[in-house]
């Protein structure tokens, strides 16, 4: 570990998202972006030059130079790249989904635990200001409705939309409900790619909560909304408009009087969830603290996603 609390950090995979990871890390005055690695040398060198760091054609050479690494390679390569990092004793921030299958995810969780490494999964919505405000209000959700829709793009289509987009909401739902999944009913269809491009799942939990989740990457416009109902409150989050609406049941006349609904609209501010996510990861590495989104939680979201995909295939 670098002295005086200064970490040496690397980025493996500097396509669209990995490049942003490198930019964020390079902007931290208290840590050092020690290098980047990419399968495309021209792209890797360009990002290295942009961020004022070194390019490594071989990730194993980069791993010898760093304390921590951010991995933003295609999902199918998550397991092999993250395992190389862990075996080199390097702490890992791994983009979502954790891996392409459950067996690989379990192996990474075991490896990180065995080596006592910080292993964080990039479910960036956990760092969204609206989510943080909502989480403080939620006690026992009874019904959750999620819509995550957007226009078609090539990035992410190497996997089904359940693993590409819906998994963000699955992670959020599991963090809100904290109860075992009991039943799933799901449908999904491919539209513009060989994989499922639009999907809907209805998830029932042991607590009695029900979540209705829709994800699409073939919609006309971008939509990111979550609505959560519990006995004493209704919370609506809009991640595009950066707002959160909170409605509560109150008793203005005192206990025993007629209830009323009072509401407020909060502007959460756009913030920089990705920068906050990376900063949180590096703080956890410095203090060897549990990350906000652990590998175990990334595994739970992936297991739920595959339950949904299996249910679709049986439909």
The reply to whether domains 3-125+274-289 and 128-272+303-314 share a CATH topology is: no
pLDDT of residue 161: 93
Long-range contacts of 181-188 (CB under 8 A, 24+ apart): 181/205, 181/206, 181/304, 181/307, 182/206, 184/304, 184/307, 184/308, 184/311, 185/311, 186/308, 186/309, 186/311, 186/312, 186/315, 187/312, 187/315, 188/160, 188/161, 188/162, 188/309, 188/312
- What the block records as the tokens of 137 is 């209000």
Residue 2 has pLDDT above 70, yes or no: no
pLDDT of residue 173: 96
Place 4 in a pLDDT band, splitting at 50, 70 and 90: low
Mean of the pLDDT values across residues 162-179? 94
Give ∠ CA 77-166-245 in degrees, rounded to 5: 135
Residue 1 has pLDDT above 60, yes or no: no
List the chain domain ranges. Answer: 3-125+274-289, 128-272+303-314
Query: Taking the model in full, what pTM does it have?
Result: 0.90
> Would you say domain 3-125+274-289 falls under CATH 3.40.50.720?
yes
Residues 6 or more apart in contact with residue 104 via CB below 8 angstroms: 78, 79
Please report, for residues 93, 195, 202, 216, the alpha-carbon distance to residue 2 in angstroms, rounded to integers and kept in the order given. 18, 43, 47, 43
| Weakest mean pLDDT among 21-35, 235-249, 250-264 | 250-264
Mean of the pLDDT values across residues 147-157? 82
- What CATH class is the domain 128-272+303-314? alpha beta
pLDDT of residue 156: 61
- Please give the Cα distance from 179 to 277 (Å, whole number): 25
Q: What is the mean pLDDT of the chain?
A: 92
pLDDT of residue 170: 97
Mean of the pLDDT values across residues 101-116? 98
Q: Where are the alpha helices (DSSP H) in the chain?
A: 16-26, 41-51, 59-63, 78-87, 102-115, 129-137, 161, 167-177, 273-287, 295-314
pLDDT, tens digit, 9 for 90 and up, residues 63-98? 999 999 999 999 999 999 999 999 999 999 999 999
């Amino acid at each position: 570990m670098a002295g005086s609390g200064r970490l040496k950090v690397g980025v493996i995979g500097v396509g669209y998202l990995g490049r942003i990871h490198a930019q964020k890390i390079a902007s931290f005055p208290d840590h050092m972006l020690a290098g980047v690695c990419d399968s495309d040398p021209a792209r890797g060198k360009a990002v290295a030059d942009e961020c004022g760091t070194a390019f490594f054609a071989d990730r194993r050479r980069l791993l010898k130079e760093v304390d921590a690494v951010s991995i933003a390679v295609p999902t199918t390569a998550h397991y092999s790249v993250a395992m190389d990092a862990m075996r080199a004793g390097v702490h890992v921030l791994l983009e979502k989904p954790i891996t392409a299958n459950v067996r690989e995810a379990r192996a990474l969780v075991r490896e990180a635990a065995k080596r006592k490494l910080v292993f964080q999964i990039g479910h960036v919505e956990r760092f969204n200001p609206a989510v943080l405000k909502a989480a403080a209000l939620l006690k026992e959700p009874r019904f959750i409705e999620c819509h995550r829709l957007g226009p078609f793009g090539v990035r992410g289509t190497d996997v089904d939309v359940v693993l590409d987009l819906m998994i963000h909401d699955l992670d959020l739902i599991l963090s809100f409900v904290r109860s075992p999944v009991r039943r799933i009913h799901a449908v999904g269809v491919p539209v513009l790619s060989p994989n499922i491009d639009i999907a809907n799942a209805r998830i029932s939990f042991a607590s009695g909560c029900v979540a209705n989740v829709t994800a699409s990457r073939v919609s006309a416009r971008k939509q990111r909304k979550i609505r959560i109902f519990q006995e004493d409150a209704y919370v609506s989050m809009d991640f595009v408009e950066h707002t959160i609406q909170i409605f509560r049941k109150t008793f203005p006349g005192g206990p025993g009087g007629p209830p009323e609904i009072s509401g407020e609209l909060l502007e959460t501010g756009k913030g920089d969830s990705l920068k906050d996510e990376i900063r949180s990861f590096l703080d956890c590495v410095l203090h060897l603290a549990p990350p906000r989104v652990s590998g175990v939680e990334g595994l739970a979201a992936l297991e739920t996603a595959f339950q949904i995909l299996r249910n679709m295939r049986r439909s």
